[in-house]
Amino acid sequence: MLRMKRREFLQTSSLAGAGVLAANKAWSLNRLEPIEDTLGEDYPYRDWEDLYRREYTWDKIGKAAHCINCVGNCAFDVYVKDGIVIREEQLAKYPQINPNVPDANPRGCQKGAIHSAAMYEGDRLRYPMKRVGERGEGKWQRMEWDEITEEIADKVIDIFENYGPGNLMTHTGSGNLSMVRFAAPYRFASLVGGVQLDIFTDVGDLNTGTHLAYGNPLESFTSDAWFDADYIMMSLFNPNATRIPDAHYIWEAKWNGARVVSVAPDYNPSSIHADLWMPIKPGADPFLSMAFVNVIIEEALYKPDFMKEQTDLPVLVRTDTGMMLREADLVDGGSDQNFYHWDLNTDAAVMIKGSMGDAAKTKTIALDGVDPALEGTFTVDGIEVTTVFEKVKEEAAKFTPEATQADTGIAPDMVRQEARAFANARKAILMLGFNIGRYSNGIYTGWAQSLMLALTGHGGKTGGVDTSWIDWKHIPWLSLALYGFEKFPRLEPGGMAEFQRGHMIDHARKHFDNAKLKERVGFDLDEMEEMINESISEGWMPYNGEMKGLISIADNKFRRNKFADKYRERILEEVKDLFVDINVRMDSTAQWADYLLPAASHYEAWDLRSVGYHRFINVFSRPVDPIGEAKPDWEIMVLLSQKIQERAIARGITEGYEDGAVTRDLHTIYDDFTMQGALLTDYDATKWLVDNSPEMGGVTLEDAAEQGFIVMTAEGGNNQPIPVDEPYNPFVAQTEDKKPYETLTGRITFFCDQKTFMRMGATVPTARHHAGAEASNYPLSFYSPHTRWGIHSNWRSNKFMMRLQRGEPNIYINPQLAAEKGITDGSKVRIFNGIGEFFAQAKFYPSLPTTAIMMEHGWEPHQYEQAKPMNNAMASLIQPLELAGGWGHLGFKLFKWNANQLAHESSVDVEPA
Ligand SMILES: Nc1nc2c(c(=O)[nH]1)N[C@H]1C(S)=C(S)[C@@H](COP(=O)(O)OP(=O)(O)OC[C@H]3O[C@@H](n4cnc5c(=O)[nH]c(N)nc54)[C@H](O)[C@@H]3O)O[C@H]1N2
Ligand SMILES: Nc1nc2c(c(=O)[nH]1)N[C@H]1C(S)=C(S)[C@@H](COP(=O)(O)OP(=O)(O)OC[C@H]3O[C@@H](n4cnc5c(=O)[nH]c(N)nc54)[C@H](O)[C@@H]3O)O[C@H]1N2
Ligand code: SF4
Ligand SMILES: [Mo]
């Protein structure tokens, strides 16, 4: 693809490679010359040996972390010699914030530790390039930055001129989770009104069940807060492979006396270390959680005080309509966001405080002398009412451990034993992996597990749901990304938008049996489409329809999306006018672009990162300059803006394009983007953030870069301050200070009478199946979790990572199933269903059920035989509950509430290939 000059090769080749070149003279000898004394002074080949001796010398050490979606966020020392990164090392200097809690050192994983090699591999993009063949043909021509950005600028302006604003998708994927890299494209999108999908849901990572319950799925524990738990249950979670730098806190908690339970269909690398493995059938979690709820209620293991104050369980529900009793039912012009308790002290209905309808300036959920009834039937103004708890009890009664055993595969005694241990724990944490968002019934699991916690009084310092992500308070960061909150991108629900644009309904129709599907998940495809359309037309979820152009940043969309090839064809058909990819690598998306803009990798730009679940903001100090002609993402967006402004002015555009309440000012976009020239570089933007963010405590960027990280101050907490010398537990402001939750009733929510929830019979926590094998004609359920040896597609072709596994895409199969199918370990198999096929190596995995195939996701399509990726054989669905809106805290909320892309709904068959 690219021819490298000899000098560049010398510069970029590894030390060992350079050694070989230095020894070239020796190799060119045409006969062997015996040397008597190989240790003596005269030995002629000392030079290259010296290179090895000097391996552990360097010119300077810079600081960095990795900006991709690993949730790790680990500070590294980066060793540089002759302008090349020669290795990296975990920094391991985080302070211990409390002498009784283990520290966060060292943070890191094997992927991070080989980036110094990976960043110089053949797939790095080094030069701006333009496609000269057909899309995807692989024919490229190098261009100068100046020329290429001018061409792109003209095309962007053409799109505005021809179709008006709202026709450009400028989506940034999850490869840019550091602050400046994230802010750059979002700021650009805010200025042009580009379409940006929710990056939680377009990959299937949103824990919607906990949003439904708590009104915030991103208020969670710092990982050090796991240490004092005495009960930890991990479901859909494999932290030993996917939270490598944080997992130690779980095992330290176990050492500290905690009981650790792993719920997973396979004996995964985290189950191995647990006290108990509960081998659940794939997709059966809501049934298990409801069985826990059943036991907690049956054996009265619940804590009424917590339930009365912190939850909506005592809120009154009408028995006639099945909806909550609202002020509007009793008073003309009353609010439909005010609700009632039955006060046992006065034997009368009283309006609750702290709901969304409460007009008080400082809201509280403190009961102030009211003793709300949890059970019973009452009459208010002639209307018969009962409580949410009564409704919950009625539903939970259906899910005894015996009744659910056939669904979950878990013995009733084991459920009872664990329900008691969990309920009686002092601090219980239910860890839910991101995998929850990839099952259509994940919302039921999250909701039912929240109920398990709320019934047993686990909240704040006594436990809660761990969702692996804390939304820290970074107002300046958001302001930088969202143009001072003056203009915004066109935000869209991720899973739903991908489903619609990719016409994924076609594949769903081919794969699922409509009648069986309805039995399994509670809706069929016609009803699902109807509910998608309703959500869009009601304005619950925004959707902008077809696009003309796409600028894709740090997103491997043609790898991660379901029904991969057809999805790609659809998108390429749509964005006929322009497709720019801004990327560090030639990934499976970059391959199809019209224009490629090479971005700086982790060690090549200034930046900051706080995404993860600790209190340290890591600093990237640009240890080396970008390779080839690559540029930091910030500078790329600056240059693009500059060209758009120049070309807009040259083309006589002197006014903004009207776009709803704002204008899209292409003729001033560079001035706007750069704050009138103040933020031209990655360094400028990083410094601006450090200087303006109170949570960074007033340090200078120089000092921070020297140290490698910033310890966030108390102001970094959104829901409550970060305690200076204690781990961060979620919702302490609610449990201790009685601050309302961000929910309709101000309380943890277990009753939802929104229209879609009513229609689906899901007004209280309950259980539904996922689609799986039972909803199609293929017998094996198929799930595809994350691999230890890569972060999605990143580092998947690195030789060190390949050597730690089978070196090519492989599926995991139970040997018993393999024997039935005539498959041997290491042999090639064909995985197929009615919509697609792919080939992979079979790897025996005895702990898998014989009814399922597992495969780690993230291989690039080109790594598969015939470039046929796993996602080709994957049909998907949308969970309509996740599209609900117009109800308190339900309605489109970025990173908090909208529909996931579902990866684990379809099924396959397997045969030797
Ligand atoms: N090394 C590495 N780390 C990563 C990533 C990576 O690609 N590589 N990616 C990061 C990102 S973006 C994400 S989203 C996370 C994902 O990481 P996790 O949140 O851990 O999720 P998965 O790896 O998808 O699945 C975890 C486990 O769920 C179990 N499982 C599968 N089906 C079921 C089921 O029906 N019920 C139950 N109870 N368990 C089930 C399987 O045992 C599987 O190992 O990891 C992050 N960290
Ligand atoms: N079947 C199946 N499919 C899945 C999943 C599953 O479990 N099963 N999981 C889903 C999940 S949870 C996730 S998170 C997605 C991940 O899906 P992908 O989109 O494949 O994630 P990455 O491979 O991280 O892609 C990010 C891209 O950003 C680029 N990049 C990295 N650093 C930079 C940078 O500094 N600048 C720029 N401009 N680009 C950069 C990288 O080259 C990389 O290709 O996959 C989803 N798809
Ligand atoms: S890839 Fe993520 S988890 Fe691994 S070292 Fe880098 S920041 Fe840490
Ligand atoms: Mo993810």
Task: Check if 70 has its Cβ closer than 6 Å to any atom of ligand 1.
Answer: yes
**Residue 513 located in a structural domain:** no
Q: Whose CA is nearest to atom 7 of ligand 3?
A: 73
Give 753's contacts (C-beta < 8 A, 6+ positions apart).
Answer: 322, 323, 324, 763, 887
> 874 with 903: CB under 8 angstroms?
yes
For the CA of 271, the nearest atom of ligand 1: 42
Separation of CA 552 from chain center: 18
Q: How many domains does the chain have?
A: 5
Residue 700 domain flag? yes
Separation CA 248–CA 252 (nearest Å)? 6
Same domain membership, residue 181 and residue 74: yes
What is the distance in A from the centroid of ligand 3 to the CA of 71? Answer: 8
- Which is nearest to 821 in space by CA: 803, 835, 842? 842
Q: What is the mean pLDDT of the chain?
A: 95
| Mutation pick for ligand 2 pocket among 469, 561, 584, 624 (CB with most ligand atoms within 8 Å) | 584
DSSP secondary structure code for residue 776 in this structure: B
Alpha helices by DSSP H, 460-502: 475-481, 483-486, 494-501
Minimal-distance CA residue to ligand 1 atom 2: 242
Q: What confidence category does residue 31 fall into, taking pLDDT thresholds of 50, 70 and 90? A: low
Residue 768 lies in a domain: no
Q: Is 871 in the pocket of ligand 2 (CB under 6 A)?
A: yes
Q: Is residue 111 part of a domain?
A: yes
Query: Residue 786 sits in a domain of what CATH number?
Result: 2.40.40.20
Q: Which ligand is nearest to the CA of 115?
A: 3
Nearest CA to ligand 2 atom 19: 556
Residue nearest to atom 29 of ligand 2 (CA): 554
pLDDT reported for residue 566: 94
Domain match, 785 and 908 both: yes
Does residue 762 lie within any of the structural domains? no
Both 253 and 343 in a single domain? no
Residue 839 burial by Cβ neighbours in a 10 Å radius (0-12, 13-18, 19+): middle
Q: Which two tokens stand for residue 240?
A: 């030993």
Residues whose CB is less than 8 angstroms from the CB of residue 194 and which lie 6 or more positions away in sequence, other chains included:
168, 169, 170, 171, 188, 489, 490, 551
Residue 612, ligand 3, Cβ within 6 A = no
Is 72 near ligand 3, meaning CB less than 6 Å away?
Answer: yes
The pLDDT value recorded for residue 896 is 98
Residue 697's pLDDT is what? 98
Which helix (DSSP H) or strand (DSSP E) does residue 9 occupy?
Answer: helix 6-12
Atom index in ligand 3 nearest the CA of residue 70 equals 2
Give the SS3 label for residue 762: coil
Mind listing the pLDDT tens digit for each residue in 783-825? 999 999 999 999 999 999 999 999 999 999 999 999 999 999 9
> Could you list the residue range(s) of the whole structural domain that residue 787 is in?
773-912
Q: How confident is the model at residue 30 (pLDDT cuts 50, 70, 90)?
A: low
**Dist. CA 582 → ligand 2 center (Å):** 13
**Tens digit of each residue's pLDDT (9 = 90 or more) over 653-707:** 999 999 999 999 999 999 999 999 999 999 999 999 999 999 999 999 999 999 9
Q: CB burial class (10 A; 0-12, 13-18, 19+) of residue 867?
A: middle
Ligand 3 mean position to 85 CA, how many Å?
Answer: 17
**Are the CB atoms for 655 and 666 separated by under 8 Å?**
no
Residue 460: which pLDDT band, with cuts at 50, 70 and 90? very high
Record the tokens describing residue 317, joined without a space.
């529900």
Structure-block tokens of residue 804: 């730690």
Does 281 share its domain with 308? no
Mean pLDDT of 517-546: 98
Beta partners for residue 840, in sequence order: 829
Let me know: does 613 contact 593? Beta carbons within 8 Å. Answer: no
How confident is the model at residue 560, as a pLDDT?
Answer: 96
Q: Are residues 189 and 232 in the same domain?
A: no
| Mean pLDDT computed over 836-845 | 98
Q: What's residue 54's pLDDT?
A: 80
Q: Indicate if ligand 2 lies below 6 Å from the C-beta of 175.
A: yes
* Amino acid letter for position 615: R
Kindly state whether residue 88 falls inside one of the protein's structural domains: yes
Question: Which of 69, 237, 895 has most ligand 1 atoms within 8 Å of CB, for mutation?
Answer: 237
- Return the minimum-mean-pLDDT range out of 47-51, 94-98, 617-621, 696-700: 47-51
The pick from 560, 783, 812 for probing ligand 2's pocket by mutation, whose C-beta has the most ligand atoms within 8 angstroms, reads 560
Amino acid at 840: A
Given this model, what pLDDT does residue 694 score?
A: 98
Atom 32 (ligand 1) nearest CA = 282
Q: Are residues 627 and 743 in the same domain?
A: no
CATH code (residue 707): 3.40.50.740
Sign of CA dihedral 67, 72, 74, 80: negative
Percent helix, strand, coil in the chain, to 5, is: 35, 15, 45
- Residue 681 Cα, ligand 1 centroid: separation in angstroms? 36
pLDDT band with cut points at 50, 70 and 90 for residue 413: very high
Identify which of 610, 607, 608, 586 has the alpha carbon closest to the alpha carbon of residue 597. Answer: 586
Q: Are residues 353 and 333 in the same domain?
A: yes
For residue 874, which atom of ligand 2 is closest to its CA? 1
Residue 44, preceding bond cis, omega within 30 degrees?
no
pLDDT for res 163? 97
Surface-to-core class of residue 718, CB atoms within 10 Å of its CB (0-12 exposed, 13-18 middle, 19+ buried): middle
pLDDT band for 26, please (50, 70, 90 cuts): very low
Q: Which of 854, 821, 825 is nearest to 842 (CA)?
A: 825
Ligand nearest to C-alpha 240: 1
Ligand 3 mean position, distance from CA 738 (Å)? 37
Region 24-33 average pLDDT: 54
Residue nearest to atom 31 of ligand 1 (CA): 236
Candidate from 109, 618, 800 with most ligand 3 atoms within 8 A of CB, to mutate: 109
* The ligand 3 atom nearest the CA atom of 73: 7
Residue-wise pLDDT tens digits, 603-619: 999 999 999 999 999 99
Domain-embedded: residue 524: no
Q: Is 283 in the pocket of ligand 1 (CB under 6 A)?
A: yes
Q: Are residues 592 and 700 in the same domain?
A: yes
Among residues 324, 429, 355, the alpha carbon closest in space to that of 731 is found at 429
DSSP for 60-73 reads EEEEE---SS-S--
Residue 52 confidence (pLDDT) = 77
Ligand 3 within 6 A of CB of 66: yes
pTM of the model: 0.95
Clarify whether residues 780 and 742 are in a common domain: no
Atom from ligand 1 closest to the CA of residue 770: 35
Closest Cα to atom 18, ligand 2: which residue?
556
Contact 380, 329 (CB under 8 A): no
**pLDDT above 50: residue 10:** no
Q: Is the CB of 174 under 6 A from ligand 2?
A: yes
Question: What distance in Å separates the CA atoms of residue 667 and residue 160, rounded to the nearest whole number?
Answer: 12
Q: Do 382 and 412 share a domain, yes or no?
A: no
Taking CA atoms only, the protein residue closest to ligand 3 atom 6 is 112
Q: Is residue 53 part of a domain?
A: no
Task: Identify the three-state secondary structure at position 382.
Answer: coil
Instruction: Quickly state the pLDDT bin for 11 (edges 50, 70, 90).
Output: very low
Cα of 242 vs centre of ligand 1, distance in Å, is 6
Considering every ligand atom, which ligand is closest to the CA of 560? 2
Q: Nearest residue CA, atom 1 of ligand 3?
A: 112
pLDDT at 209 over 80: yes
- Closest Cα to atom 47 of ligand 1: 242
Do 290 and 309 have their domain in common? no
CB 559 within 8 A of CB 174: no
Q: How many CB atoms lie within 10 A of CB 24?
A: 9
The CA–CA distances, whole Å, from 95 to 470, 574, 722 equal 20, 51, 15
CA angle 373, 377, 382 (to 5 degrees): 115
Residue 746 falls in which region: left (phi positive, over 0), alpha (psi -120 to 50) or beta? left
The Å distance, Cα 786 to ligand 1 centre, comes to: 5
Under the phi-then-psi rule, with left for phi > 0, alpha for psi from -120 to 50, and beta for the rest, what region is 179? Answer: alpha
Enter the DSSP assignment of 791: B
Q: Is 380 exposed, middle or buried (0-12, 13-18, 19+ CB in 10 A)?
A: middle
Q: 92 and 154 in one domain? A: yes
CA 581–ligand 3 middle distance (angstroms): 24
Q: For residue 628, how far is the Cα from the chain centroid?
A: 31
User: What's the rounded mean pLDDT across residues 353-365?
Assistant: 97
